[in-house]
Amino acid sequence: MKATNINAITTREIVAGFTGKYYHAEGLSIGWLDAKAGHSVPLHSHIHEQVSYVEEGEMLFIIEGEEFMLKAGMAITVAPNLKHGATAITDCKLIDVFNPVREEYK
């Protein structure tokens, strides 16, 4: 068991316009991200199952070519190995959860 002050975790740039901090447990990673309007995470895929929750703002997700417009209070699940990306329509605050752990974000 461990308790962590999330505010003490260093914020890092994920891609241009997206910054965040990540906490890692044994089997998952959780991230708190800020995205600037007009910026995108390019299409990509990974072995992780991902759940993204839009806390504030509007975010357009593209998963395997299908578009999903998420507004504050909405979440989406991305299955492992699916090609996906996202664009911040407005400034956004997001929470991302990954299983298994995103080792590259440690």
Domain segments of the chain: what residues? 6-105
What's the average model confidence in pLDDT over 18-37? 98
d(CA 44, CA 94): 18
Residues in Cβ contact with 2 at an 8 Å cutoff, skipping those fewer than 6 apart: none
Band of the pLDDT at 1, cuts 50, 70, 90? Answer: confident
Q: How many whole angstroms from its chain centre is CA 76?
A: 10
Q: Which pTM was predicted?
A: 0.95
d(CA 62, CA 25): 28
pLDDT digits (tens, 9 = 90+) for 34-57: 999 999 999 999 999 999 999 999
Is the pLDDT confidence value at 2 over 90?
Answer: no
d(CA 76, CA 2): 28
**pLDDT exceeding 90 applies to what percent of the chain?**
97
Amino acid 89 reads I
CATH class of 6-105: mainly beta
Is the pLDDT confidence value at 84 over 90?
Answer: yes
